[in-house]
Amino acid sequence: MKRGVKAMVLIGILACAVPAAGWAAEKAICYNCPPEWADWASQLKAIKDNLGIDIPHDNKNSGQTLSQLIAEKNNPVADFAYFGVTFGILAKEAGVLAPYKPALGDQIPDGLKDPQGHWFTIHSGTLGFFVNKDALGGKPVPKSWKDLLKPEYKGMVGYLDPTSAAVGYSSAVAVNIALGGSLDNFDPAIQFFKELKKNEPIVPKQTSYARVLSGEIPILFDYDFNAYRGKYKDKANVEFVIPAEGTLVAPYVVGLVKNGPNAANGKKALDFTLSDKGQAVWANAFLRPVRATALSPEVAAKFLPASEYARARSVDWKKMADVQDKFRERYLNEVR
C-alpha cells in the first residue's frame, strides 16, 4: 500500500475512533430521579429535548440519595438531587449541597425554599391511600387510618420504609398528626404502626406504583399524583382517599450538588424544572407545581374536591427534619 493511501486510511480510522468536538451529548447526573415517580421520565426527556442535556434515570429514594452524597462528598458524582423536603434540609446540613438561586426562584413562596438557595421546592403532593379497588376482593375502600387496622385488610396494606424513603417518613408524620400527635410526640404513629404490624403490611424501600397497579399491594400510603396517574393515564380501577382523620401535604425539593462534575448543566436542569415547560410536566402528572399558575383548570378538575383537601395540613419542615432521627430510632426499636 502506498504511503499516501496508508495515511488516508489511518486518518479515517482515527476519525471514526475519536468523535468530533461537540458530537457527544451534554450530560448531567441526578440522584433520585426515578422514571415511575412524579413522571421524572417525562421531565428528563423534556430536559433533553429542550436543553440537549442527557440525564439518566436513577431509582434511589431520598434517604439512599443523602447517604450516597455524603459518601461521595470528597469526590462527587451527581450534579443535582431530588428529595422529600426534610431530606433536602438534612442534605444542606450535611454540607453536600451548594447554594444556587434558580431563574424564577423568586416565584417560590417563602418557607418552600432555603434562603441561601441550597434547596427549593418544585412541586408537592398530598398523602393518602392509593387503592386498587379490583384487588380488594369485594372489601370496601378504606376511608380512615383506623380502617386499615381492621382484620379484613390483612396482607393488603403497604407503606414505604419510613426510616429511608421520604414518602415513608411523611406518611408517619401524616398519621401521627392525624391521630393527635405532634412533632414532639410520635406516640400515636408508633402505636399505629405496632397495631398495623398485626395485619402483616408490605414495607418496600422503593416507589411501588407498578405493584399497586398489578394488585400486589392493594392499598398503599402514597401521594395523590400517583393515584391520579393510575386512574387517568393508566386507566386502572384505582381510587385516591384522603383519610377522614386528616393528612399531610408535602413538598419535594431539588438542590445543586456541591462540586458536582457538570455543575453548569446541573444549574440549567434545575432552572428548567421551574420553567413554564418544566412546571407543565409536573402539572400534567397531577402534582401541584410550586408555581401555581402552571396547574390548568382541566387538570385541577380531576383532583378530589377542595373540601377533601381541607383535611391536609403542613408542618414546620425544619422541625420535621430535626426530629427525623428520633422517629427513626423509635420505629426501628419499637416497630420493626
pLDDT reading at 278 higher than 50: yes
- What's the pTM? 0.85
3 state DSSP class of 30: strand
C-alpha dihedral sign at 230, 232, 236, 241: positive
What pLDDT was estimated at residue 19?
37
> What CATH number labels 126-249+306-334?
3.40.190.10
What pLDDT was estimated at residue 293?
73
More confident residue, 11 or 231: 231
Rounded Cα gap, residues 186 and 177, in angstroms? 9
More confident residue, 15 or 186: 186
pLDDT reading at 106 higher than 70: yes
Over residues 215-228, the mean pLDDT reads 96
Domains 24-124+251-300 and 126-249+306-334 fall in the same CATH topology = yes
pLDDT reading at 48 higher than 80: yes
pLDDT reading at 4 higher than 60: no
More confident residue, 206 or 129: 129
What pLDDT was estimated at residue 16?
38
What pLDDT was estimated at residue 17?
38
Rounded Cα gap, residues 40 and 289, in angstroms? 14
> What CATH number labels 24-124+251-300?
3.40.190.10
Q: What is the pLDDT of residues 175-206, one digit of tens each?
A: 999 999 999 999 999 999 999 999 999 999 88
More confident residue, 104 or 20: 104
Residue carrying the nine cell digits 406518611: 171
What pLDDT was estimated at residue 25?
66
- Each domain of the chain, given as residue ranges in start order, spans 24-124+251-300, 126-249+306-334
The per-residue pLDDT of the chain, averaged, comes to 92
Give strand ranges (E) for the chain: 26-27, 30-31, 53-54, 80-84, 97-98, 120-132, 157-158, 219-223, 238-241, 247-257, 288-289, 312-313
Rounded Cα gap, residues 184 and 195, in angstroms? 21
